[in-house]
Structure 1
Amino acid sequence: MNNRVFFIAFVVLLVALPVLPSPEFWITLANYIGLYALVALGLVLLTGVGGMTSFGQAAFVGLGAYATAVLGTRYGVSPWVGLLAGWTITGLTAYGIGKITMRLSGHYLPLGTIAWGLSLFYLFGNLDILGKYDGLNGIAPITLFGWTLDTGRKMYCLIWLVVVVCVIGLQNLLNSRPGRAIRALKGGATMA
């Protein structure tokens, strides 16, 4: 079967899945796939395109998720404002950690990212405000144009819309001047 036909069939199935009488497990699984695809896009950019090894991606995902959840549950912040705050907090933290970690090279870079990932994992698991290893409950659902996304089928559309937007954005980034600089990182700092 041709790759193009396979891709078109995949897109048709992706669009039709939430309206088909499919088991809820399939929707939940597709939601997890979409969320993990977002993380994988970041890894592809960093590792596959940039040539840098990172084992700390999950820590940044957790940081953004916890920031959004804490702002929503403890302080009553809107989920959309919480998402923006979570992205901002994660971005600033990643920038600060990156300034330190990017000075490492060779085997020290992956080891440094493992250390950051593990330290944030244990930090999240031991803070009472984050519910320790049990996590947080009572997170408000996102509302989009008056439509409450409180089920997996409703979240499905938002998750996959974000995945598609991020894939298009990543393709545009890689075809731009900064994208060529990211590709050049694979050849070494002198090439970039």
Structure 2
Amino acid sequence: MGSLVQSAASASDRRRSGARLWASPRSRGLAALALVVALAPLGLVNDYLYDIAILVGLNAIVCVGLNLLIGYAGQISLGHAGFFGLGAYGSALLCAHYGVPPLAALALATAAVSLLAFAVGRPILRLKGHYLAMATLGMGVIVSIVLANEDRVTGGPDGMPVPPLTVFGHALQGEQAWYWLVGACLIVVVWLALNLIDSPAGRALRALHGSEVAAEVVGIDSARRKLEVFVLSAVFAALAGGLTAFYSGFVTPAKASFLHSVELVTMVVFGGMASTFGAVVGAAVLTILPQALTVVKEYEMVVLGAVMMATMIFFPRGAVPTIEAWLRRRRP
């Protein structure tokens, strides 16, 4: 009888813990994201809109990883487009030149980028502030120059074609199929990021952001934690880069340019640093907005700049955290 009572009590505890888990804001946010991904095709009436939605998802995958590095660990990076470009070119080269199956090429390219990020991250993450920003900028510039100049391998500034992505012998074709693949990858990446944030490693990252000295005093290995999140963010960027290459069927060195790195950082800051869903929103807004502003033609960049300035003035913490704080103040 006692064992039955204990079993019932433990089952009740599991149910309560599960209810608390799904009652958390992050779990509700993940469910909302999955719902948006599932229902968005109802409003995507043509391939052009599907193409924009796919680009939103690919940019969001990079931004979620970059937000872990910048927003949670407090380590700036202006060279993440380099990892994006290496993931794209690595996947393309392994398929086109060595006959590696596309999925295996994507996995191998992502693994190679993680090893490179580990090798590069160990020395440069000893730097802080603008010194770290300059080091990551230099890394990104080197990658961009190599991709542009090694024309016998990469095709140079003109780029190179990429074979189609095949899954179990079937080529993935059409915007709708790609939408579901990228949407599923985005949900998995966001889920991984949320689990990391809620783990002891995530709390260590937040402690590092507050004060590295204080974090080390309480026993956190700051060098190790910074390197781990740097490698993880590079893996997300390489994954998105490889998927982008297979989706577009062509890749150019512009994918690894400094301008692309700045765009990615801007998306993170716009949505809200230390906010996973803010990174997704920032990627969505700053991917869709330039497309919507094409109606104003030559004033497109002026309007885009004005919108971003206004956002930073009225939403200094980023769009999502500021709106969340406003809603909490309004709640009775």
1:150 partner SS: coil
Q: Distance in 1 between matches of 2:154 and 2:36?
A: 37
Unaligned runs of 5+ in 2: 1-24, 221-332
Q: Structure 2 length as normaliser, TM-score?
A: 0.53
Q: Distance in 2 between matches of 1:158 and 1:184?
A: 35
1:109 to 112, 123, 132: 132
Equivalence for 1:159 = 182
1:187 to 174, 197, 210: 210
Equivalence for 1:74 = 97
Give the Å deviation of 1:14.
Answer: 2.8
Give the Å deviation of 1:134.
Answer: 1.5
Matched positions, count: 187
1:186 partner SS: helix
Equivalence for 2:119 = 96
Give the Å deviation of 1:147.
Answer: 4.3
Equivalence for 2:160 = 136
Would the alpha carbon gap of residues 12 and 177 (structure 1) be closer, same or farther in structure 2, given more than 3 Å must change?
A: closer
Q: Deviations over 1:56-108 (max 9, x none)?
A: 11110111111111000111110111011111111011111101211112320
Q: Distance in 1 between matches of 2:129 and 2:44?
A: 51
Give the Å deviation of 1:119.
Answer: 1.2
Contact 2:103–2:167, Cα closer than 8 Å, also in 1: no
Give the Å deviation of 1:13.
Answer: 4.9
Contact 2:196–2:202, Cα closer than 8 Å, also in 1: yes
Q: Distance in 2 between matches of 1:162 and 1:106?
A: 32
Q: Distance in 1 between matches of 2:36 and 2:71?
A: 28
Would the alpha carbon gap of residues 67 and 21 (structure 1) be closer, same or farther in structure 2, given more than 3 Å must change?
A: closer
The aligned runs of 1:166-177 (5 Å cut-off) are 166-177=189-200
Q: Distance in 1 between matches of 2:44 and 2:193?
A: 33
What amino acid is aligned across from residue 212 of structure 2 in structure 1?
A
Paired-residue identity, %: 34
Give the Å deviation of 1:150.
Answer: 1.8
Q: Distance in 1 between matches of 2:209 and 2:44?
A: 46
1:43 to 66, 86, 90: 66
Give the Å deviation of 1:182.
Answer: 1.5
Equivalence for 2:53 = 30
Q: Distance in 2 between matches of 1:76 and 1:19?
A: 38
What amino acid is aligned across from residue 81 of structure 1 in structure 2?
A
1:87 to 84, 89, 110: 110
State the structure with more CA Rg.
Answer: 2
Give the CA RMSD over aligned residues. 2.2
Q: Distance in 1 between matches of 2:185 and 2:61?
A: 8
What amino acid is aligned across from residue 133 of structure 2 in structure 1?
P
Q: Structure 1 length as normaliser, TM-score?
A: 0.89
Q: Deviations over 1:25-66 (max 9, x none)?
A: 111001110000011011110001111111111110111111
Contact 1:47–1:53, Cα closer than 8 Å, also in 2: yes
